[in-house]
């Protein structure tokens, strides 16, 4: 059975930039994020051999989510200049290593990864997604597994259940209920992680929670 390895490049770009020292070359150009991401790719290639692979990055500019909700990610500051300066040389280095890069305007890297996971699963591929983004736990199924090379965490279906107390299919409803402060997305008022987890374990889906809303005190 063939395997597809997908890398959430945008997730690792930020984590490498903020997690590593301020490395610079002889011209005093920042290189920490480049160093971190390339090391991650080398490690991935060694530990998770695959038939196909790709690095997926966010495109510049807004996405369809900004049209739906103008305040989406409005709480985030602009990308630091030292990080922006590393993007193009990083892309060039990744390409030189033989990794295809996918960037699709109007959507985020997560959307591209989700689409590829669905398509690959339907064609009987096993898919390994390397990411540090908790939101992608919703993609996990019997063919899709998440790995995080920075923490050595692996999330299959059982791993998602152990970490979140939910099935992967319930992650979307869970995030809908609690919101996401990092993306400036509000959840249901006065509903936190404990309440959301309790409701989903009892009622299974958001639709069923809404159907039983009159029972809540």
| CATH numbers and ranges of domains, the chain | 3-164 (3.40.50.1010), 168-215 (1.10.150.20)
CA distance 87 to 175: 30
For residue 131, the model assigns a pLDDT of 93
Per-residue pLDDT tens over the stretch 67-118: 898 898 988 888 999 999 999 999 999 999 999 999 999 999 999 999 999 9
| Residue whose C-alpha is closest to residue 118's, from 91, 88, 138, 89 | 138
Q: What are the C-alpha distances in Å from 7 to residues 52, 99, 117, 143, 176?
A: 11, 10, 12, 16, 25
CA distance 99 to 93: 9
Per-residue pLDDT tens over the stretch 162-175: 999 999 999 999 99
Between these two residues, 191 and 150, which has the higher pLDDT value?
191
Sheet of 153-155, strands arranged across: 101-103, 52-57, 3-8, 126-130, 144-148, 153-155
Prediction pTM value: 0.92
CA distance 54 to 167: 27
What percentage of the chain has pLDDT greater than the value 90? Answer: 84
pLDDT bracket for residue 29 (50, 70, 90): very high
Distance between start and end Cα atoms, the chain: 51
At residue 12, does pLDDT exceed 80?
Answer: yes
């Amino acid at each position: 059975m063939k395997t597809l390895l997908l890398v959430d490049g945008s997730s690792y770009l930020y984590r490498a930039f903020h997690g590593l020292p301020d490395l610079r070359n002889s011209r005093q150009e920042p290189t920490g994020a480049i160093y971190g991401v390339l090391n991650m790719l080398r490690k991935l290639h060694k530990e998770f051999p695959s038939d196909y692979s790709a690095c997926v990055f966010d495109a510049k500019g807004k996405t369809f989510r900004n049209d739906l909700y103008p305040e989406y990610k409005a709480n985030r500051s602009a990308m630091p200049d030292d990080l922006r300066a590393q993007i193009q040389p990083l892309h060039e280095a990744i390409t030189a290593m033989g990794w295809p890069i996918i960037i699709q305007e109007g959507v985020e890297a997560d959307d591209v990864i989700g689409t590829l996971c669905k398509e690959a699963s339907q064609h009987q591929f096993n898919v390994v997604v390397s990411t540090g983004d908790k939101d992608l736990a919703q993609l996990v199924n019997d063919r899709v597994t998440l790995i995080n090379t920075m923490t050595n965490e692996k999330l299959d279906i059982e791993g998602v259940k152990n970490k979140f107390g939910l099935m992967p299919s319930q992650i979307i409803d869970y995030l809908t209920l609690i919101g996401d402060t990092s993306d400036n997305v509000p959840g249901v008022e006065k509903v936190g992680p404990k309440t959301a987890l309790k409701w989903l374990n009892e009622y299974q889906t958001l639709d069923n929670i809404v159907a039983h809303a009159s029972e809540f005190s």
